[in-house]
Amino acid sequence: MPIPTLPLNDGTQIPSLAFGTGTTLLHHQDAQIMAIIESAISIGFTLFDGAQRYKNEAVLGAAIKASESTVPRSELFISTKYAPMTPGDTAKTALYKSLEKLGLEYVDLYLVHAPNEHMDGGGGGLREMWKVMEECKREGLARSIGVSNFGVGHLLEIVEGAQVLPAVNQLEIHPYVWDFVKPLIKMHKEHGIVTSSYGGLSPLFRAPGGPLDPVIEKIKARLEDTWGKPVTSGQVLNKWLLQHDVLVVTTSTKAERVREYVDTCDVPELTDEEMGLIESAGAEHHQSFFKHTKYYLEGI
């Protein structure tokens, strides 16, 4: 099954599963990263989540070019994130640099990496920064624009008076933070903003032995019995996210794991009861794993 898409509030369709080029890949050499991305393209990923801060946009661009004979640029959805890497950089000047490194004329999605670098205490910094993001869209440098690690307050600052609403907000989302992000997801739905997740499998790999584990195992066994094929714990958790209409950003250096992620789309759906069991187990243990989460979560 091809990766399903989600509608953005600007009329664009975005794949619901993305391959992330940060975290795990940052510890590898350029040649290794390029081979991993090329493999992900051949396996079926079309959305690639990059960032200026990852410092590997040139490698992503090289992988896109190397794969164009089998998967043309028009069939890929390329995202990058704005962070002022050089003093005086604006969202537009930084994007021009990204496009040069990527070897592209435009990106499909351009996100503000985090709100803290643009705040002036009164919200004006965020509003002025967003105006430049809107210019990037109007001028065709980015087909869609959005944010990352923004809380309700940050979104309110830019939504008021915005000519273009953020299309996406990318956050750390998994069952151990689910209760805390509910108000934010509610706001997303009110404005047609797609919720995107990173670190969705963290409870399995970064906090094993928690209350979620036995629930996942039980659901995994039921799915295998229903489907007649092996199902992994990661597929169960990613399926939970996908059924919440969350855009899942995930990554791996291993081709078999990457194939597993794409195959998640074919795994039978979780029942309403199973969805609830995952959320109830998550509510028993609150834990975040990434520093940017502090911008929108409290009490962890």
The whole-number pLDDT of residue 124 equals 67
Cβ contact 169:142 at 8 Å: no
Identify the segments of the chain with pLDDT beneath 70. 119-124, 298-300
Q: What pLDDT is recorded for position 292? A: 84
Q: Could you tell me which residues are beta bridge partners of residue 7?
A: 13
pTM of the model: 0.96
pLDDT, tens digit, 9 for 90 and up, residues 271-291: 999 999 999 999 999 999 998
Q: List the structure tokens of 38.
A: 């090329």
Residue 228 per-residue DSSP state: S
| Mean of the per-residue pLDDT values of the chain | 95
CATH topology assigned to domain 12-205+240-266: TIM Barrel (3.20.20)
> Please, are residues 134 and 164 in contact by the beta-carbon 8 Å criterion?
yes
Amino acid 293: pLDDT: 86
CA–CA distance, 77 with 60 (Å, rounded to integer):
12
**Rounded distance, CA 175 to CA 241, Å?**
9
Instruction: Kindly list the distances between the CA atom of residue 282 and the CA atoms of 22, 101, 114, 215, 260, in Å, as whole numbers in the listed order.
Output: 25, 40, 25, 10, 23
Known active-site residue 54: yes
Q: Which sequence spans correspond to the domains of the chain?
A: 12-205+240-266
pLDDT of residue 1: 77
DSSP bridge partners of 112? 82, 147
pLDDT tens readout for residues 43-52? 999 999 999 9
Buried-state track 210-245, b at ≥16 Cβ within 10 A, e below 16: bebeebbeebbebbeeeeeeebbbbbbbbbbbbeee
Annotated ligand binding at 113? The verdict is yes
